Amino acid sequence: MSVKLLYFGPQWTGSTSLQRLHAFQQIDGLEAIGVDCGADVGAKSTLWRRVRWKLRLPVDALRENERLLDAVAAHRPDIVLVDNSKVIARETLERIRRSGVSRLVYYSPDDIVARHNLSLPLKWTLPSWDIVCTTKTFNIPELAALGVPRPFLIGKAFDPQLHRPMSPEQVGPDYERYDAVFVGDWEQQRCASINALAEAGCAVVVFGANIKKWRRSRLHPSIDLRMPAYGEDYVVALHTAKVALCFLRKINRDRITQRTMEIAASARPMVAERTDEHDAHFAHGREYLGFESDSELVQRVRSLAQDDSLRMSIAESARRRCMASGYSTAERARQMLNAFLEGK
């Protein structure tokens, strides 16, 4: 029996939302239709929109409610999956339900319950979704307490078409030019740890996801600061150093992150903040090296940068673990679809 799923979310190149859509589109017997919510990376905001966001009442500047309703009317899906929108209204969900949609699903890649992520429109609609998917273990009881009928835990993932090993020829002259690379947003603790590496004599490159915060004045003068990298450029960036750094986002209470899977699947030797969830997904010492202090971070990076054999062993073992343990977007999509169809 064919099932039609409407996937509503950001679809800019390199977005994890687009990667998830492509994974659903590969499932036999499922017609997955992508509808762009209109969000784009680095989009500028007005002062009024920023004020409204601080008040947790974001403006529907991209007409997401209208776009979603129009798409449902045009495609008549069985399942509607909304990826991380903060502005969908309860009335919109009621209208979608009346149109005959059998499953309303919300997906959040972030700490959905944290105040900076939980807009009031989203909070008000939580009991209206049949399933709310979260990648955070601690969000499951929190979502249940907020009235979600079925919170569903889904693991972080990598895109097998994108996150892969690259050769020196594919990367170019920057292949493993540095000791360590970090790709991502600025946080004060991350910046301090990266500076500690540079002060210890490690060559470091940062591809800053928010270049305004990754100011030169905050970084050790030896650190190479570059523009953000997404999609294929992101995978190339991971190959510019002998070691890829994986920091967790403290504001989101991270225990594991999407970058964890992406680095490992790209067969990059990973040094990551050590947590129970990192250890559950990758064997410390064999598939990644964990650290709990800046001194440990320096030690781990040096040990890998100076040992080609160890570096290769950890990188190859981590990639094999990704493949064997079902960490791909394709496998995660199948797990979610099975959950959506239960009791249908």
Q: Is residue 112 within 8 Å of 143, Cβ to Cβ? A: yes
Query: Hey, what amino acid is at 216?
Result: R
Band of residue 285 on the pLDDT scale cut at 50, 70, 90: very high
pLDDT for 344 equals 54
85-118 pLDDT, tens digit per residue, is 999 999 999 999 999 999 999 999 999 999 999 9
Rounded Cα–Cα distance for residues 62 and 134 (Å): 24
What angle in degrees, to the nearest 10, is found between the helix axes of 329-341 and 16-25?
70
- Residue with the bigger pLDDT between 267 and 40: it is 267
How many C-beta neighbours within 10 Å does residue 121 have? Answer: 19
pLDDT for 295 equals 98
Q: Pick the closest to residue 242 from 190, 296, 170, 314 (CA basis).
A: 314
Band of residue 281 on the pLDDT scale cut at 50, 70, 90: very high
Give the domains, in start order, of the chain with CATH numbers: 3-157+328-341 (3.40.50.2000), 168-324 (3.40.50.2000)
pLDDT for 1 equals 53
What angle in degrees, to the nearest 10, is found between the helix axes of 308-324 and 294-305?
100
Taking residues 295-318, report their average pLDDT. 97
Band of residue 217 on the pLDDT scale cut at 50, 70, 90: confident
Q: Is residue 186 within 8 Å of 213, Cβ to Cβ? A: yes
Q: Pick the closest to residue 130 from 98, 96, 102 (CA basis).
A: 102
- Residue with the bigger pLDDT between 211 and 259: it is 259
For the chain, how many residues are written?
344
Sequence-ordered strand ranges (E) for 227-302: 241-246, 270-273, 289-291
Q: Is residue 252 within 8 Å of 137, Cβ to Cβ? A: no
Whether 197 shows a pLDDT value over 60: the answer reads yes
pLDDT for 252 equals 93
Q: What is the CA radius of gyration of the chain?
A: 21
Whether 21 shows a pLDDT value over 60: the answer reads yes
The average confidence (pLDDT) of the chain is: 95
> CA 231 from chain center: how many Å?
12
Query: Of the ranges 36-45, 71-80, 235-244, which one carries the lowest mean pLDDT score?
Result: 36-45
Taking residues 52-57, report their average pLDDT. 92
Burial of 106 (0-12, 13-18, 19+ CB in 10 A): buried
Band of residue 343 on the pLDDT scale cut at 50, 70, 90: low
Query: Of the ranges 4-13, 50-59, 233-242, which one carries the lowest mean pLDDT score?
Result: 50-59
Rounded Cα–Cα distance for residues 270 and 284 (Å): 10
Taking residues 142-154, report their average pLDDT. 98
- Residue with the bigger pLDDT between 326 and 53: it is 326
DSSP, collapsed to helix, strand or coil, labels residue 191 as helix
Rounded Cα–Cα distance for residues 299 and 170 (Å): 30
